[in-house]
Amino acid sequence: MGPDLTSKRWIVAKGILFALLAVLSGGLIIFVELPAFHRAVLLGICVWAACRFYYFLFHVLHAYVDPTLPSAGVMDLVKHLMTKRR
């Protein structure tokens, strides 16, 4: 195993990549005609990436990026980020 990821920017980039992977694999399932095996693999990737993104939103951001971020829900997080930017 390599060293732990400590850069806050790279941690956020990794979370965004999980979200992108979930959206792309979900989109392929919905919009592209594929054999059942390929759809099953894409579904597994979609679920895994969505779970990792959820974990990122409610644990990684709070524990490793900014301890002041609320972890009560997505709307609280968005509200906090919107007021922080002003």
Hey, how many other C-beta atoms are within 10 angstroms of the C-beta on 47? Answer: 13
The pTM score is: 0.83
* pLDDT value, residue 13: 94
1-56 per-position pLDDT tens digit: 667 888 999 999 999 999 999 999 999 999 999 999 999 999 999 999 999 999 99
Q: How confident is the model at residue 68 (pLDDT cuts 50, 70, 90)?
A: confident
